[in-house]
Amino acid sequence: MRRPRSSRSARARWLVVAGLAAIVVGGWGVWHWLDWRDYRSFEARPGTVFALELPPVVGPFDGFGVFAVDWKGPAIAVVDRGTSSRPRTFVVHRYPSGERLERRDDYSTDELAALEARGITMAPFDFDGDGDDDAIVKLEHSIEVRSGSADSPSVLFASDEPREYVTYERFTLLPDVDGDGWSELAVLQPRTDRSTWDFAPLDARWTAQSRLCVVSGKLASAARR
């Protein structure tokens, strides 16, 4: 028995509606996946010696302390002062290999003071090794290291992340850690768990991690040539 024409017409309409709904939901899913993947990617930094994965930050004032220390040789200390969701920790890495030398979880005040006492003195920040003190300039969406030379003022290093506003301090000036005549730079690329304040279900399941790059002034200068 043939179905009535009205029944076939209703079935066709439902198929069209279901198809359109699948296209809308699928398109939304693809867009959200691409946005989440892009948020987890990191800008390549010229002159990077080594990079560290760090926890996501939870606000504009949540950052990581970074400074150079003498740990039987030059090293970089990264201090996480902790939040309500993560414990305080410090980790020491050999420069320039990035090898982990020491880690302290839930460190004491005395342990942190002992670490800070081993800090390498910060001389004038000379990123391009020309003898002039270079400067940090903060713009609307980017941060730049600019040459202090009056003869050839130029941008020596820049970081542009227009979508990233979760922390104010992304550059940490470091001394000439390895004694090659060029200062070093620590660059934080912060990421947050956006599911806590936005509709980002993938972040709730796979939280994006922050990254810290330790950049050699000498290598970054060579990359510009």
- Opening angle at CA 171, ends 215 and 44, nearest 5: 45
Q: In this structure, what are the phi and psi dihedrals at residue 64, rounded to the nearest 5 degrees?
A: -130, 130
CA 51, CA 3: separation in Å to the nearest integer?
67
More confident residue, 225 or 125: 125
β-partners of residue 67 are 77
**pLDDT over 60 at 189, yes or no:** yes
The token pair at 193 is 């768990």
The model's pLDDT over 50-109, given as tens digits with 9 standing for 90+, comes to 999 998 888 777 879 999 999 999 999 999 998 877 889 999 999 999 999 999 999 999
Identify whether the C-beta of residue 58 lies closer than 8 Å to the C-beta of residue 75: no
- Opening angle at CA 161, ends 160 and 166, nearest 5: 135
Mean pLDDT of the chain: 83
Model's pTM, two decimal places? 0.80
The model's pLDDT over 150-170, given as tens digits with 9 standing for 90+, comes to 666 688 998 877 665 556 678
Q: What is the pLDDT confidence band of residue 206, given thresholds at 50, 70 and 90?
A: confident
β-partners of residue 80 are 89
State whether residue 224 is helix, strand or coil. helix
| Ranges 34-38, 55-59, 193-197: which has the least confidence | 34-38
Cis before residue 4, ω within 30 degrees of 0? no
